[in-house]
Amino acid sequence: MAAGRGTFLPSYLEGLRRNPNANCGQTAPARPLTFRKPGPGEGESGTGGNSQTDGKRKKNQPTAAPCSFSGNGLRLPSEILLKILSYLDASSLSCISHVSKTFHQLADDEFYMSDFGNTTWRPKPAAGDGALEVDSVSVECRLSGHWKKMYFRTATVQDVNKWRREMRDVCPITGLPWRTEWVLRNLNVSWELTVCCCTGLEITLEPSRVYFFESCAIVHFSGERFLKYLQITSIQLYGVRKETEKSPKARRPGWRSLILKLDLSAHNGWNFGNDNLIRLIHIQPGVTIGTWRSEDTIAFIMITLHFHKLVEKSLLGSPACPYSEPVALPRVDNSDPEFGLHGYSLHFVLHNTGTEIMSGNFRQLCCRKDQIQDGLVALRVINLNNLSRHRSLSGNITLPWKSETLEGSVENCCIMTLTLLDEFQKPFWCVSSSIFIVGTKWPLAVDYGGEHFLMHFYSPEGHVKMKLVWLEEQKQFFVVSLVVYVPVAKVNKRFSRAY
Mind listing the pLDDT tens digit for each residue in 316-362? 888 888 998 887 788 888 899 999 999 999 999 999 998 999 999 99
Whether residues 349 and 489 share a domain: the answer is: yes
Whether residues 483 and 375 share a domain: the answer is: yes
Smallest Cα–Cα separation from 297: which of 229, 222, 203, 221? Answer: 229
How far is the C-alpha of 346 from the C-alpha of 419, rounded, in Å? 6
What band does 164 get if pLDDT is binned at 50, 70 and 90? confident
Q: Does residue 454 surpass a pLDDT of 60?
A: yes
Count of domains observed in the chain: 3
What pLDDT score was predicted for residue 102?
76
Of 70, 90, 116, the residue at which a domain comes to its end is 116
Residue 126, domain member (yes or no): no
Q: Which of 4-13, 65-74, 408-417 has the lowest mean pLDDT?
A: 65-74
Whether residues 291 and 360 share a domain: the answer is: no
Q: Which of 120-134, 236-250, 348-362 has the lowest mean pLDDT?
A: 120-134
Q: Does residue 379 surpass a pLDDT of 50?
A: yes
**41 within 8 A of 76, measured Cβ to Cβ:** no
What pLDDT score was predicted for residue 61?
46
Q: Does residue 175 surpass a pLDDT of 70?
A: yes
149 Cβ contact partners less than 8 Å away, ≥ 6 residues apart: none
Residue 179, domain member (yes or no): no
Whether residues 14 and 58 share a domain: the answer is: yes
What band does 123 get if pLDDT is binned at 50, 70 and 90? very low
Of 116, 137, 158, the residue at which a domain comes to its end is 116
Q: What is the pLDDT of residues 386-423, one digit of tens each?
A: 888 899 998 789 999 988 888 999 999 999 999 999 99
Quickly list DSSP for 15-64.
Answer: HHHH-TT--TTS---------B---TT--TTS----HHHHHHS-TTSPPP
Q: Does residue 236 surpass a pLDDT of 90?
A: yes
Residue 146, domain member (yes or no): no
Angle between helices 109-116 and 146-166 (to 10 degrees): 40
Smallest Cα–Cα separation from 386: which of 451, 445, 344? Answer: 445
Whether residues 348 and 309 share a domain: the answer is: no
What band does 9 get if pLDDT is binned at 50, 70 and 90? low
Residue 136, domain member (yes or no): no
Q: How far is CA 475 from CA 358, 393, 411, in A?
A: 15, 10, 15
Whether residues 353 and 311 share a domain: the answer is: no
What pLDDT score was predicted for residue 53?
43
What pLDDT score was predicted for residue 129?
44
- The percentage of the chain sitting over the pLDDT mark of 90, rounded to a whole number, equals 43
Q: Does residue 118 surpass a pLDDT of 80?
A: no
**428 within 8 A of 342, measured Cβ to Cβ:** no
Whether residues 305 and 379 share a domain: the answer is: no
Residue 487, domain member (yes or no): yes
Q: What is the pLDDT of residues 20-69, one digit of tens each?
A: 554 444 444 444 444 444 444 444 444 444 444 444 444 444 444 444 43
Whether residues 305 and 392 share a domain: the answer is: no
Of 64, 95, 116, the residue at which a domain comes to its end is 116
Whether residues 431 and 491 share a domain: the answer is: yes
The pTM of this model reads 0.71
Residue 125, domain member (yes or no): no
Which range marks the domain in which residue 96 is found? Answer: 2-116
Smallest Cα–Cα separation from 23: which of 76, 99, 102? Answer: 76
Whether residues 486 and 354 share a domain: the answer is: yes
Whether residues 394 and 311 share a domain: the answer is: no
What angle is formed at CA 116 by the lines to CA 114 and CA 117, rounded to 5 degrees?
Answer: 65
**Rounded mean pLDDT of 130-156?**
50
What band does 125 get if pLDDT is binned at 50, 70 and 90? very low
**Rounded mean pLDDT of 170-196?**
93
328 Cβ contact partners less than 8 Å away, ≥ 6 residues apart: 426
Mean pLDDT of the chain: 78
Highest-confidence segment of 58-62, 141-145, 209-213? 209-213
Whether residues 196 and 293 share a domain: the answer is: yes
**Rounded mean pLDDT of 241-247?**
66
What pLDDT score was predicted for residue 96?
75
Residue 332, domain member (yes or no): no
Residue 483, domain member (yes or no): yes
